[in-house]
Structure 1
Amino acid sequence: MLSETLEISRTPIREAVADLIKEGLLVQIPRKGFHVREITESEKEQIMFLRLSIETEGLKKLVPNITKEQLQSLRKIVSEQEQEMLHNDPVTYIELDQIFHRQILSFANQNLLEQILQEMYNLTRLLGHHALMKEGRMAEVIQEHKQILHALENNDSSKAVQLMERHLEITKSNVNTEKDNS
């Protein structure tokens, strides 16, 4: 059916589905088909714990060494997020959100932590879509990112960490709220 709808052969569809299963995003149900993998409450807690630990550590390492060019790069990402919000493109918006968070780790030379965050990318992306369902959340995220940038500009490590913790806690609370409403 998908092959006919997209007017392509079955092979790329099979390959894409296999990739999604391998990445843990699709689950096959015998004789019924596939469905998007649901993330358990325990997994949500673990993801948020790991993100909080990884990202606050990255900020602690970055603050004393951040350059003007790195700050400009992070500002550019946030600016692009604003544009995607105005264009009502949540997919690109979330991709930029992920880039913002990974870029902090990259600039902090925390390559292993960045790699771990990248491996969690798909699961956090699923959570990100749910967290953005709240009216006005996209604009709130941009403001939270700008506050983190301001703390980085002022070389205020404790403030940057505090703001990242708050940012991730709000995201976690929005994920849980969306789940409760569904």
Structure 2
Amino acid sequence: MIDNTKPNLTFNKIEPASLRHKAYITLQKAIIELDFKPGELLKKSELCKSLGISRTPLSEAIALLVQDGLVEVVPQAGTYVARFSIDELKEGAFIREALEVAAIKKLASSITDQNLIELRRNLRLQRAYIDDKDIQGFYGLDSKFHSIILNATGFRKLSRLADTAWMNVNRVRRLLLPVPGRIEATYVEHKEIFSALEQRDTIQSEKVLKEHLRKLMTFVAPLEKNHPEYFLMS
């Protein structure tokens, strides 16, 4: 069951330099981390007060969030956190899979011992966060696990491209991780990916990664059924 109660949000006051960028990053993080729920009205006056900025840099930051697909401005109605679009989620998942599968195919046969050390350390921390029932901590390590793989290719922009494509999917992941058994299953799937990479088995690495990434979309239909208010009408 998803807790829809809103905590009292407080933001660090933003310094004058780069107000638009800092407001954008702060709000983007809050939306992805579900401090603001899909479909929620964003009250500009309250945001200006919380962030300690004027309406101009806030409006500029919101324009960037619209480009990200995280915010929707409805004329004469207001500014809202974007609801989920099934088609956009499928597209984001498709792009992410294409990038990450290409990365693991390049990496599997030539992965370094240092790369494996990083992944192994990440998995140990994942286990610790599961034992502590720290969902948010595990979420960060989940994302980091995939970033290690992408960054190990040596292509500096790859992780950023994948994160951009995955932005709305990341919001869904936040909603799905509390589903009973999902964190433990995710950890097991990560271990399977690591094992294939440790064996430098390109075919198995690609296979288990695809299975892992494709699991997510199978949970979206039940989520839409239970929380139709978070989704655009099909």
Q: In the aligned structure 2, how far is the partner of 1:169 from the partner of 1:76? A: 25
Output the aligned Cα RMSD: 2.7
Q: In the aligned structure 2, how far is the partner of 1:130 from the partner of 1:39? A: 12
2:83 matches 1:27: no
Q: In the aligned structure 2, how far is the partner of 1:48 from the partner of 1:146? A: 21
Alignment of 1:62-141 (within 5 A): 62-141=107-186
Decide which structure has greater helix share: 1
Q: In the aligned structure 2, how far is the partner of 1:24 from the partner of 1:87? A: 34
What secondary structure sits across from 2:136 in the alignment? helix
Q: In the aligned structure 2, how far is the partner of 1:35 from the partner of 1:90? A: 26
For residue 14 of structure 1, what is the aligned residue in structure 2? 58
2:100 matches 1:55: yes
Q: In the aligned structure 2, how far is the partner of 1:46 from the partner of 1:175? A: 14
Q: In the aligned structure 2, how far is the partner of 1:89 from the partner of 1:120? A: 26
Change (3 A) 1:5 1:39: same
TM-score (norm 1): 0.82
For each residue in 1:80-117, what CA deviation from the matched residue of structure 2 results, as whole angstroms up to 9, or x when unmatched? 23333344443332232222112201112243433310
Shift of 1:66: 0.8
Quick check: which has more Rg, 1 or 2?
2
For residue 27 of structure 2, what is the aligned residue in structure 1? none
Q: Structure 2, unaligned stretches of length 5 or more? A: 1-44, 228-234
What secondary structure sits across from 2:72 in the alignment? strand
Contact kept? 1:131, 1:172, Cα under 8 Å: no
Identity value in percent = 24
For residue 41 of structure 1, what is the aligned residue in structure 2? 86
Q: In the aligned structure 1, how far is the partner of 2:112 from the partner of 2:105? A: 14
What secondary structure sits across from 1:62 in the alignment? helix
For residue 149 of structure 1, what is the aligned residue in structure 2? 194
Contact kept? 2:96, 2:166, Cα under 8 Å: no
Q: In the aligned structure 2, how far is the partner of 1:53 from the partner of 1:4? A: 39
2:223 matches 1:166: no
Change (3 A) 1:96 1:17: farther
Contact kept? 1:24, 1:37, Cα under 8 Å: yes
Change (3 A) 1:83 1:22: farther
What secondary structure sits across from 1:34 in the alignment? strand
Read off the aligned partner of 1:165 and give its amino acid letter. Answer: K
What secondary structure sits across from 1:28 in the alignment? strand
Change (3 A) 1:105 1:178: same
Read off the aligned partner of 1:36 and give its amino acid letter. Answer: V
Q: Structure 1, unaligned stretches of length 5 or more? A: none
Shift of 1:3: 5.7
Give the number of equivalent residue pairs.
181
Read off the aligned partner of 2:194 and give its amino acid letter. Answer: L
